[in-house]
Amino acid sequence: MLKGKNEQRTSLAELGEFGLIKHVTDSIKLIHKSSVKGVGDDAAVLQFDKKQVLVTTDLLVEGIHFDLSYMPLKHLGYKAVMVNLSDIYAMNGLATQITVSIAVSNRFPLEAIEELYAGIHLACATYKVDLVGGDTTSSTKGLLISITAIGEANAKDIVYRNGAKPNDLLVVSGDLGAAYLGLQVLEREKQVFQVNPNAQPDLDNYTYLIERQLKPEARKDILKLLKELKVTPTAMIDISDGLSSEIIHICQQSEVGCNLYEDKIPLDPQVISTCEEFNIDSTTVALSGGEDYELLFTIDTADYPKIKANPNLTVIGHITTPDEGMHLVTRAGQKIALTAQGWNALLKKRAKF
């Protein structure tokens, strides 16, 4: 990623810290009334009137959370913002501001940081979020990005993880498992490239998987959809670690059990065909893969008619009393206890956001 063709390399030392900050924040135009003061003073000033304020943060470290040999910097910037916005949407809140802090080694020229910020600015413009501050420093090795997202909601609209009750339906947006498989495909191509740098990767069969890994979208649209359908989830969480561990979070915090039906889990055809090719079980990938950034929520059964025909939403199970436990009901009708295996279950290295 750092060695391109028409590569211009402007050293960060030439600009200095303040020059760099100005360079990446100069074009910012604030859109929210709540953003009273953005970049340029000792602190941003925000005003939320009668709303409650949501705050979430994530730290991403090169080599742990991302690999720049197949993650373009623009995508990294975009994804780093998505990961945070997804957490605000999972509370049924409106994301309004972010701050972005970076630590960069001298391996990165200005052009690389411009790419990163192109992705960050694109995410902000697409999701209507103001970039109001951050911090910039150097690192001895590699790139670190920390993003904090701020959002707002009326107290009565906020959806916590702990509101699910017996008989509620368990619903998921979109489809699952694709981002994990996208990562496996990219890792495989990286290894092929290391052995034979002239190999031309043929990724046509994996376009959806790779897009889900490199350019995930936070599901702001699902909140709008639920509002239009007049459905308020009783509990909600975003799927960053895998369906299984997120269901367990909802059940434990709500003090309930659940039955999840294997045959209901929504899978894209590319997920099914690639699982066959890689000889891995698609249910395991959906349960433990992670990085889907879909929303998992529970609704009252009375709301079922409002969502049942919607192609964006799938009912995958229901909530039970706590004594029934948390189970996966397999296609064969067998009941298996759900465990939060996360990526360990797949016994493969995974760059988890």
Give least dist CB 28 to ligand ADP, A: 8
Give least dist CB 115 to Mg ion, A: 22
14 near ligand ADP, rule: CB under 6 A: no
Give least dist CB 293 to ligand ADP, A: 23
Instruction: Report the length, in residues, of the chain.
Output: 353
Question: In the complex, which residues of this chain contact Mg ion (CB under 5 A)?
Answer: 135
102 near ligand ADP, rule: CB under 6 A: yes
Cross-strand bridge partners of residue 258: 319, 326
Single out the residue of 12, 35, 39, 346 in contact with ligand ADP (rule: CB under 6 A). Answer: 39
* Residue number with CB closer to ligand ADP (113 or 275): 113
The answer to whether the CB of 151 falls within 8 A of the CB of 93 is: yes
CB atoms within 10 A of CB 319: 27
In the bound state, the residue with its beta carbon closest to Mg ion is 135
Q: Measuring CA to CA, how many Å separate 43 from each of 137, 157, 176, 255? A: 17, 29, 39, 40
Give least dist CB 39 to Mg ion, A: 11
* Residue number with CB closer to Mg ion (135 or 276): 135
21 near ligand ADP, rule: CB under 6 A: yes
4 near ligand ADP, rule: CB under 6 A: no
100 near ligand ADP, rule: CB under 6 A: yes
Q: Which one of the spans 3-11, 37-45, 152-160, 286-294 is the region binding ligand ADP (CB under 6 A)?
A: 37-45
63 near ligand ADP, rule: CB under 6 A: no
Give least dist CB 236 to ligand ADP, A: 30
Single out the residue of 4, 16, 19, 40 in contact with ligand ADP (rule: CB under 6 A). Answer: 40
* Residue in 125, 217, 121, 141 with CA at minimum distance from that of residue 173: 217
Give least dist CB 23 to Mg ion, A: 15
24-54 burial code (b ≥16 CB/10 A, e <16): bbeebebebebbeebbeeeebebeeeebeeb
Could you give the angle at which helices 207-214 and 269-278 cross, rounded to 10 degrees?
Answer: 100
Q: What stretches of the chain show up as alpha helix (H) in DSSP?
A: 12-25, 73-89, 110-127, 178-195, 207-214, 220-228, 243-254, 269-278, 282-288, 304-307
Single out the residue of 77, 134, 163, 257 in contact with ligand ADP (rule: CB under 6 A). Answer: 134
* Residue number with CB closer to Mg ion (38 or 182): 38
Alpha-carbon gap, residue 129 to 23, rounded angstroms: 19
Tokens 């897009």 belong to residue: 211
231 near ligand ADP, rule: CB under 6 A: no
CB atoms within 10 A of CB 225: 16
Could you give the angle at which helices 12-25 and 110-127 cross, rounded to 10 degrees?
Answer: 10
* Residue number with CB closer to ligand ADP (19 or 40): 40
Enumerate binding residues for ligand ADP (CB under 6 A): 21, 24-25, 39-42, 100-102, 131, 133-136
